[in-house]
Amino acid sequence: MSLEKRVLSKYIPAHLAIILDGNGRWAKKHNLLRTLGHKKGAENLKNMALICNEIGVKVLSVYAFSTENWNRPASEVEYLMKLPREFEENYKGKFKENDIKVIFSGRRDRFSEENIDLLYRIEEKTKDRKGLILNVCFDYGSHTEIIEAVKQISVKYKNDDIKLDDIDTSLMEEHLYTKGLPPLDLLIRTSGELRISNYLLWQLAYSELYFTSKLWPEFNRKELLKALDNFQKRNRRYGGIKE
């Protein structure tokens, strides 16, 4: 049986996350500016969203800009901040055609007015779509996400809206950016780095992890199928014992 047929005949992750890493190294390898690596990376994100939609992934979460990425050179940050607009201009037709919904996870208070409006507008325009949910994590960091959740819960406790014993896993999850999304099945990181880098720390509790040396712009359909094939062979026990 072909790799594709085998993978498609088994469980496809409901929620897949990818740390998109290696755009800069890809550009260097091809003697191009780093920004062109990000451009290629954004194009690959569009391709990956279409593939995930086609094969039945429900949610694709991607780490597009971290709370720490503001420390990069100003010119690179400036370019990365233009990506949401470029992404919408270039791919909105394809996304509409394929009924893909787009949401953003992360802080919204450090972007330009224009970008803030854009993120809300994209979410509003795509909110009733029934296909893949592309969750773009932009100015995202897990520590911030968890701290924000704790603050919101603390206010509710202080106002007597909840009791101490109401604070449990499900209450925490209602206050995370991923509220309402299915549990995270699989996290993929490209480019050979073996780190989580402050990504989805809460959500990763029982997820499977897959690391590949392929740089993000090189991570194509075949590489995704290889990752899913590997995932499908795992024995997920969630702390229990093997059946």
Residues labelled as active-site residues: 21, 69
Residue number of the CB atom closest to ligand FPP: 24
In the complex, the smallest distance separating the C-beta of residue 187 from ligand FPP, rounded to whole angstroms, is: 15
Closest to ligand FPP by CB, 87 vs 149, is 87
Closest to ligand FPP by CB, 57 vs 153, is 57
List b or e across 11-45, with b for residues whose CB sees 16 or more CB atoms inside 10 angstroms.
Answer: ebbebbbbbbbbbbbbbeeeeeebbbbbbbbbebb
In the complex, the smallest distance separating the C-beta of residue 169 from ligand FPP, rounded to whole angstroms, is: 30
Interacting residues toward ligand FPP by CB under 6 A:
20-25, 38, 41-42, 45, 64, 69, 80, 83-84, 87, 136, 138, 191
In the complex, the smallest distance separating the C-beta of residue 87 from ligand FPP, rounded to whole angstroms, is: 4
Closest to ligand FPP by CB, 23 vs 207, is 23
In the complex, the smallest distance separating the C-beta of residue 99 from ligand FPP, rounded to whole angstroms, is: 18
Closest to ligand FPP by CB, 123 vs 166, is 123
